[in-house]
Structure 1
Amino acid sequence: MKLSELINIKSGNAICYSGFRHGQSPDTGVFPDYDQVKEDLLILSKNWKYLRLYDCDKQTDLVLDVIRTEKLDFQVMLGAYIGAEVNNHGCPWGGIYAEEQLKENKVRNVKQIEKLITQANQYPDIIFSLSVGNEATVDWTDHYVSVDSVIDYVRMVKKGARQPVTFCENYLPWHSKLKALAEEVDFISIHTYPVWEYKNIHEALEYTRQNYNGVAEKYPHKPVVITEAGWATNSNGRGIEPWNVSEELQEVYYNDLVNWSEQEEVMTFVFEAFDEPWKGSPEPMEPEKHWGLFTVDRKPKKVMQELYPELIEMKKSRV
């Protein structure tokens, strides 16, 4: 089942967007300003119609305001970021919290869901779907939330907003762990990253297809969307071999992915628009920092250079 059978949507490219630049991050509370968000969205409007946003925060408020004020032709999948409600001893980088912190997280999560509903109703012409969390049930997450709790959040959102509701997660948990959740959401959203699973570029698209088809065949009565798929351009060796990432490889995977998605009519949100240096470890080559199709300075990487020659010249003139 295709998403277009559930929602009246037009075809168009989709991308994950977060606008944090040098010195900005959600952790420090330093957010992009209106002009920076406007600059980003004008760049993206040239090639994308659908944006995925992850959090109901100050940045999201600005994005929605810019889209409406500047009359930009975007449709948004809006997410609520839900933090850890349960300790996860299986997280390699720390998923253990004090009980008081877990209780505070639960309160914050409910507020996130409430704001998600509020924004959905405030921007019904812009927000076309809603997600109640991101990678919160997979075994390795540092913000673990029980499946039952996610189901409760789905029901809250469906009661308070009209847009279709989903939950964004790695493809694997949908095969068994999330069966009950799959029946609650309006459509299923999966993440697929061949490069994180040690696949080379020759195996990449086929692996993505297998990930998608495995979930789609299990739930033929539910639309399945890919809400994250991409290829990093740098790595310090942490989880991804440095030889297996580059701008050239990103270009190959992006083109293969987009062509396949168009042919099969699968909505696929490419991860991601811009590099985000605040992510991951302090090491500059940490792969989490290097998934953008554009650098943090808004310079197009190889995959986007033909489409954005004006940005290349603009960056040169500023040097």
Structure 2
Amino acid sequence: MNSFKALNLSPGRAICYSGFREGQQPGGICPSYEEVKEDLLILKSHWKYLRLYDCDVHAETVLKVIEQEKLPFQVMLGAYIVAEMNNFGCPWGGGVYTEKELDENHIKNRNQIQKLIDLANQYPTIICTLSAGNEACVDWTDHYVSVSSVIEYVNSIKKEAKQPVTFCENYVPWLSKLKPLVDVVDFISIHTYPVWEYKNIHEALDYTKENYFAVANMYPDKPVVITEAGWATNSNGRGIEAHNVSEDNQEIYYQDLVNWTDSDGILTFVFEAFDESWKGSNEPLEPEKHWGLFKIDRTPKLAMDRQKIL
């Protein structure tokens, strides 16, 4: 199914954007108006759609820049919901909270959903789709939320906002535990990362297609969007084999991915625009820090440097 047509969106390439630079992080110092403007002027040559994860100060700045600078972006805006249940199986030791913290988190989540609705109604021509959360139901998450809560949040959004609503999640839960959610969302959003599953670059696109069609074929009447797919350029060897990541591999995967999704009309948000040093552990080669198509100083990696020639 052509997801652009199904969602009444015009074709265009899409990317995940979070603009935190050195010394900045969510909940701390945020990028300024001018820094966001600089980023978006870099991105507008290549992408039409941006995905934002949260309704935080950074997202508000991004929306303000798009509006005031009259930039040609459409935005998928997400609500970042936090843990409402303990996940004792979280592999890095997170996901365990007191009952008081979980109760407080439920209130935070309701507020976050309301903020999503408010921004959707404030920027109806810029925000084109909405997400009720991100990777909150997969088995390894540190911000575990029940499927019933997600259904409640999706229904709340649909009552008060006009944009199509989804929930962004790894492809695996859509094959099983998220089946009750499928009837509620307007479209399914999946994440697929072959490199996290120890696939080499020659297997990568076929594995991405396998992930995509496993979900799409299960729900043929529901549009499926890829809201995260990408390739890291560095790794400390934990979770991702160091020999399997490089700028060359990222360029190969990026080109293969966009060529396929362009031809098949699949809205696909590449992960991600810029490297972000705040993510993951303190180790410089922590893979979470190195998914950007641009480095943290905004210089292009190989995949984008070659774009100047093409």
Q: What's the offset of the Cα at 1:9? A: 1.2
* Alpha-carbon separation, structure 1, partners of 2:308 and 2:97: 45
**Structure 2 equivalent of residue 54 of structure 1:** 53
Q: What's the offset of the Cα at 1:104? A: 1.0
**Structure 2 equivalent of residue 34 of structure 1:** 33
Contact kept in structure 2, 1:138 and 1:173, CA below 8 Å: yes
* Alpha-carbon separation, structure 1, partners of 2:245 and 2:16: 19
Aligned residues: 308
Tell me the secondary structure at the aligned position of residue 306 of structure 1: helix
List per-residue Cα deviations over 1:267-286 (Å, max 9, x = no partner): 11000000000000000100
Tell me the secondary structure at the aligned position of residue 307 of structure 2: coil
* Alpha-carbon separation, structure 1, partners of 2:6 and 2:198: 35
* Alpha-carbon separation, structure 2, partners of 1:262 and 1:46: 16
Amino acid at match of 1:32: P
Amino acid at match of 2:37: K
Contact kept in structure 2, 1:74 and 1:126, CA below 8 Å: yes
Contact kept in structure 1, 2:233 and 2:245, CA below 8 Å: yes
* Alpha-carbon separation, structure 1, partners of 2:132 and 2:89: 22
* Alpha-carbon separation, structure 2, partners of 1:147 and 1:282: 33
Mapping 1:5-20, distance limit 5 Å: 5-20=5-20
Q: Under a length normalisation based on structure 2, what TM-score does the superposition of the two structures give? A: 0.98
Amino acid at match of 1:226: I
Contact kept in structure 2, 1:171 and 1:211, CA below 8 Å: yes
Contact kept in structure 2, 1:300 and 1:308, CA below 8 Å: no
- Give unmatched runs, 5+ long, in structure 1: 310-319
Tell me the secondary structure at the aligned position of residue 307 of structure 1: helix
**Structure 2 equivalent of residue 178 of structure 1:** 178
Tell me the secondary structure at the aligned position of residue 166 of structure 1: strand
Tell me the secondary structure at the aligned position of residue 76 of structure 2: strand
Mapping 1:160-309, distance limit 5 Å: 160-308=160-308
Q: What's the offset of the Cα at 1:6? A: 3.0
**Structure 2 equivalent of residue 81 of structure 1:** 80
* Alpha-carbon separation, structure 2, partners of 1:124 and 1:191: 26
Mapping 1:62-81, distance limit 5 Å: 62-81=61-80
**Structure 1 equivalent of residue 135 of structure 2:** 135
* Alpha-carbon separation, structure 2, partners of 1:114 and 1:308: 41
Q: What's the offset of the Cα at 1:2? A: 2.6
**Structure 2 equivalent of residue 316 of structure 1:** none
- Give unmatched runs, 5+ long, in structure 2: none
CA RMSD in angstroms, aligned pairs only? 0.9
* Alpha-carbon separation, structure 1, partners of 2:303 and 2:289: 17
* Alpha-carbon separation, structure 1, partners of 2:263 and 2:5: 16
Q: Under a length normalisation based on structure 1, what TM-score does the superposition of the two structures give? A: 0.95
List per-residue Cα deviations over 1:210-229 (Å, max 9, x = no partner): 00001000000100000000
Amino acid at match of 1:12: G
Q: What's the offset of the Cα at 1:5? A: 3.4
